[in-house]
Amino acid sequence: MSTSNISTQTPHRSPPLARLLESTESASWLDRPATRVRALVRPLADGPAGGVLRGDFLGHPLHPALVAVPIGAWSSAAVFDLVFRRPDAARRLLGIGLAATPPTLATGWSDWSRCTTVQRRVGLIHAVTNAAGIALTAASYRRRRCASESSASTVALSLAGLGLIGVGGTLGGHLAYVLGARVSPHADVPDAEANGPAYDPVLAEPVTPADR
Protein backbone atom coordinates (compact mmCIF):
# COMPACT_ATOMS: atom_id res chain seq x y z
CA MET A 1 0.00 0.00 0.00
CA SER A 2 1.31 3.39 -0.95
CA THR A 3 2.03 5.69 1.95
CA SER A 4 0.54 8.53 -0.09
CA ASN A 5 -2.92 7.01 0.47
CA ILE A 6 -2.60 7.11 4.25
CA SER A 7 -4.46 10.04 5.83
CA THR A 8 -2.23 12.42 7.75
CA GLN A 9 -5.03 14.62 9.03
CA THR A 10 -4.15 16.12 12.41
CA PRO A 11 -6.73 16.50 15.18
CA HIS A 12 -8.37 19.90 15.50
CA ARG A 13 -6.96 22.03 18.30
CA SER A 14 -9.01 24.81 19.80
CA PRO A 15 -7.51 28.31 20.19
CA PRO A 16 -5.66 28.89 23.50
CA LEU A 17 -8.49 30.88 25.09
CA ALA A 18 -11.04 28.28 24.06
CA ARG A 19 -8.86 25.55 25.59
CA LEU A 20 -8.66 27.55 28.80
CA LEU A 21 -12.46 27.75 28.91
CA GLU A 22 -12.74 24.05 28.11
CA SER A 23 -10.45 23.25 31.04
CA THR A 24 -13.14 24.50 33.43
CA GLU A 25 -15.29 21.57 32.31
CA SER A 26 -12.83 19.20 34.01
CA ALA A 27 -12.97 20.89 37.43
CA SER A 28 -14.34 17.78 39.14
CA TRP A 29 -13.23 19.13 42.52
CA LEU A 30 -16.24 21.45 42.25
CA ASP A 31 -18.74 18.59 42.13
CA ARG A 32 -19.12 18.26 45.90
CA PRO A 33 -19.66 21.99 46.63
CA ALA A 34 -21.90 22.21 43.56
CA THR A 35 -24.08 19.44 44.97
CA ARG A 36 -24.41 21.31 48.26
CA VAL A 37 -25.22 24.61 46.56
CA ARG A 38 -27.73 22.88 44.29
CA ALA A 39 -29.54 21.49 47.33
CA LEU A 40 -29.92 25.06 48.61
CA VAL A 41 -31.08 26.43 45.25
CA ARG A 42 -33.54 23.71 44.24
CA PRO A 43 -36.34 24.84 46.62
CA LEU A 44 -36.34 28.21 44.85
CA ALA A 45 -36.03 26.72 41.36
CA ASP A 46 -38.72 24.10 41.99
CA GLY A 47 -41.04 26.40 43.95
CA PRO A 48 -43.98 28.47 42.72
CA ALA A 49 -41.66 31.13 41.23
CA GLY A 50 -39.47 28.58 39.44
CA GLY A 51 -41.26 28.79 36.12
CA VAL A 52 -41.05 32.59 36.11
CA LEU A 53 -37.36 32.56 37.02
CA ARG A 54 -36.63 30.10 34.21
CA GLY A 55 -38.58 32.20 31.70
CA ASP A 56 -41.24 29.62 30.87
CA PHE A 57 -43.68 32.43 30.09
CA LEU A 58 -41.25 33.75 27.45
CA GLY A 59 -40.45 30.42 25.86
CA HIS A 60 -36.73 30.88 26.62
CA PRO A 61 -34.53 31.58 29.69
CA LEU A 62 -35.03 34.96 31.36
CA HIS A 63 -31.50 35.24 32.73
CA PRO A 64 -29.78 36.50 29.53
CA ALA A 65 -32.26 39.35 29.23
CA LEU A 66 -31.78 40.49 32.83
CA VAL A 67 -28.00 40.29 32.57
CA ALA A 68 -28.08 43.18 30.10
CA VAL A 69 -29.22 45.63 32.79
CA PRO A 70 -26.29 45.46 35.26
CA ILE A 71 -23.69 44.97 32.51
CA GLY A 72 -25.09 47.90 30.54
CA ALA A 73 -25.26 50.13 33.63
CA TRP A 74 -21.73 49.30 34.80
CA SER A 75 -20.25 49.66 31.31
CA SER A 76 -21.92 53.06 31.00
CA ALA A 77 -20.58 54.02 34.44
CA ALA A 78 -17.05 53.35 33.17
CA VAL A 79 -17.70 55.66 30.22
CA PHE A 80 -18.94 58.44 32.50
CA ASP A 81 -15.92 57.95 34.75
CA LEU A 82 -13.24 57.88 32.06
CA VAL A 83 -14.66 59.89 29.16
CA PHE A 84 -17.25 62.37 30.41
CA ARG A 85 -15.74 62.82 33.88
CA ARG A 86 -19.18 62.67 35.50
CA PRO A 87 -18.69 60.77 38.77
CA ASP A 88 -22.23 61.58 39.94
CA ALA A 89 -23.75 59.91 36.86
CA ALA A 90 -21.34 57.00 37.20
CA ARG A 91 -22.37 56.48 40.81
CA ARG A 92 -26.05 56.41 39.89
CA LEU A 93 -25.40 53.90 37.13
CA LEU A 94 -23.49 51.65 39.52
CA GLY A 95 -26.49 51.80 41.84
CA ILE A 96 -28.90 50.89 39.04
CA GLY A 97 -26.79 47.87 38.16
CA LEU A 98 -26.62 46.75 41.78
CA ALA A 99 -30.39 47.12 42.14
CA ALA A 100 -30.88 44.86 39.11
CA THR A 101 -28.48 42.24 40.47
CA PRO A 102 -30.77 40.21 42.81
CA PRO A 103 -33.34 39.17 40.16
CA THR A 104 -30.52 38.51 37.71
CA LEU A 105 -28.82 36.20 40.22
CA ALA A 106 -32.09 34.46 41.06
CA THR A 107 -32.76 33.58 37.42
CA GLY A 108 -29.17 32.45 36.92
CA TRP A 109 -29.19 30.11 39.92
CA SER A 110 -32.56 28.72 38.88
CA ASP A 111 -31.17 27.83 35.45
CA TRP A 112 -27.97 26.43 36.98
CA SER A 113 -29.91 24.03 39.20
CA ARG A 114 -31.24 22.29 36.08
CA CYS A 115 -27.82 21.86 34.45
CA THR A 116 -25.71 18.72 34.02
CA THR A 117 -22.65 17.98 36.15
CA VAL A 118 -20.17 19.49 33.68
CA GLN A 119 -22.38 22.51 33.10
CA ARG A 120 -22.66 23.07 36.84
CA ARG A 121 -18.85 23.09 37.15
CA VAL A 122 -18.50 25.87 34.60
CA GLY A 123 -21.57 27.62 35.99
CA LEU A 124 -20.14 27.67 39.50
CA ILE A 125 -16.89 29.26 38.29
CA HIS A 126 -19.02 31.72 36.31
CA ALA A 127 -21.00 32.56 39.46
CA VAL A 128 -17.96 32.96 41.73
CA THR A 129 -16.23 35.22 39.20
CA ASN A 130 -19.33 37.37 38.87
CA ALA A 131 -19.72 37.49 42.66
CA ALA A 132 -16.19 38.89 42.99
CA GLY A 133 -16.97 41.50 40.34
CA ILE A 134 -20.22 42.46 42.07
CA ALA A 135 -18.42 42.78 45.42
CA LEU A 136 -15.85 45.18 43.94
CA THR A 137 -18.60 47.19 42.26
CA ALA A 138 -20.56 47.40 45.51
CA ALA A 139 -17.42 48.53 47.36
CA SER A 140 -16.86 51.27 44.78
CA TYR A 141 -20.48 52.40 45.05
CA ARG A 142 -20.29 52.55 48.83
CA ARG A 143 -17.12 54.64 48.73
CA ARG A 144 -18.68 57.01 46.21
CA ARG A 145 -21.69 57.54 48.48
CA CYS A 146 -19.45 58.32 51.46
CA ALA A 147 -17.16 60.76 49.62
CA SER A 148 -17.93 64.01 47.86
CA GLU A 149 -15.69 63.10 44.91
CA SER A 150 -14.57 59.83 43.34
CA SER A 151 -10.92 58.97 43.90
CA ALA A 152 -8.70 57.02 41.53
CA SER A 153 -8.93 53.98 43.78
CA THR A 154 -12.73 54.14 43.78
CA VAL A 155 -12.81 54.21 39.99
CA ALA A 156 -10.24 51.41 39.87
CA LEU A 157 -12.50 49.26 42.04
CA SER A 158 -15.43 49.60 39.68
CA LEU A 159 -13.24 48.99 36.62
CA ALA A 160 -11.78 45.87 38.20
CA GLY A 161 -15.29 44.72 39.01
CA LEU A 162 -16.35 45.31 35.42
CA GLY A 163 -13.36 43.31 34.21
CA LEU A 164 -14.33 40.34 36.39
CA ILE A 165 -17.90 40.60 35.17
CA GLY A 166 -16.51 40.40 31.63
CA VAL A 167 -14.62 37.21 32.51
CA GLY A 168 -17.77 35.81 34.08
CA GLY A 169 -19.73 36.73 30.96
CA THR A 170 -17.22 34.87 28.80
CA LEU A 171 -17.70 31.79 30.95
CA GLY A 172 -21.45 32.27 30.63
CA GLY A 173 -21.08 32.34 26.84
CA HIS A 174 -19.14 29.08 26.96
CA LEU A 175 -21.80 27.59 29.19
CA ALA A 176 -24.63 28.53 26.84
CA TYR A 177 -23.14 28.34 23.34
CA VAL A 178 -20.60 25.52 23.73
CA LEU A 179 -22.20 23.36 26.41
CA GLY A 180 -25.79 24.24 25.47
CA ALA A 181 -26.91 24.91 29.03
CA ARG A 182 -30.62 25.77 29.19
CA VAL A 183 -30.86 26.21 25.43
CA SER A 184 -34.55 25.37 25.81
CA PRO A 185 -36.45 26.07 29.05
CA HIS A 186 -38.43 22.87 28.40
CA ALA A 187 -35.35 20.67 27.98
CA ASP A 188 -34.77 20.09 31.69
CA VAL A 189 -32.13 17.49 32.46
CA PRO A 190 -33.29 14.50 34.55
CA ASP A 191 -31.58 14.23 37.93
CA ALA A 192 -29.89 10.96 36.99
CA GLU A 193 -28.21 12.59 34.00
CA ALA A 194 -27.53 15.86 35.80
CA ASN A 195 -25.62 14.06 38.55
CA GLY A 196 -23.23 12.19 36.23
CA PRO A 197 -21.26 10.35 35.18
CA ALA A 198 -19.60 13.47 33.86
CA TYR A 199 -17.97 13.90 30.49
CA ASP A 200 -14.34 14.89 30.97
CA PRO A 201 -12.86 16.83 28.00
CA VAL A 202 -9.31 16.15 29.16
CA LEU A 203 -9.80 12.40 28.77
CA ALA A 204 -11.93 12.62 25.66
CA GLU A 205 -10.68 12.35 22.09
CA PRO A 206 -10.22 15.62 20.14
CA VAL A 207 -13.34 16.73 18.32
CA THR A 208 -13.98 19.24 15.60
CA PRO A 209 -16.33 22.20 16.09
CA ALA A 210 -18.90 20.39 13.94
CA ASP A 211 -18.93 17.50 16.42
CA ARG A 212 -19.95 19.66 19.40
* pLDDT for res 199: 52
In 3-state terms, what secondary structure has residue 4? helix
Predicted confidence (pLDDT) at residue 210 exceeds the cutoff of 70: no
Predicted confidence (pLDDT) at residue 55 exceeds the cutoff of 60: yes
Q: How far is CA 160 from CA 134, 164, 203, in A?
A: 10, 6, 35
* pLDDT for res 201: 54
CA distance 3 to 7: 9
Closest CA to 38 of 189, 202, 200: 189
Predicted confidence (pLDDT) at residue 208 exceeds the cutoff of 70: no
* pLDDT for res 147: 86
| pLDDT tens-digit series, residues 122-178 | 999 999 999 999 999 999 999 999 987 779 999 999 999 999 999 999 999 999 999
Predicted confidence (pLDDT) at residue 120 exceeds the cutoff of 50: yes
| pLDDT tens-digit series, residues 159-169 | 999 999 999 99
Q: 103-142 burial string, b = 16+ CB within 10 Å, else e?
A: ebbbbbbbbbbbbbbbbbbbbbbbbebbebbbebbbebbe
Query: pLDDT-based confidence at 28, cuts 50/70/90?
Result: very high
Residues 6+ apart with CB under 8 A from 96: 69, 73
Which bin fits 32, alpha (ψ -120 to 50), beta or left (φ > 0)? alpha
Closest CA to 53 of 43, 72, 189: 43
**Mean pLDDT across the chain, nearest whole number?**
87
pTM, two decimals, is 0.82
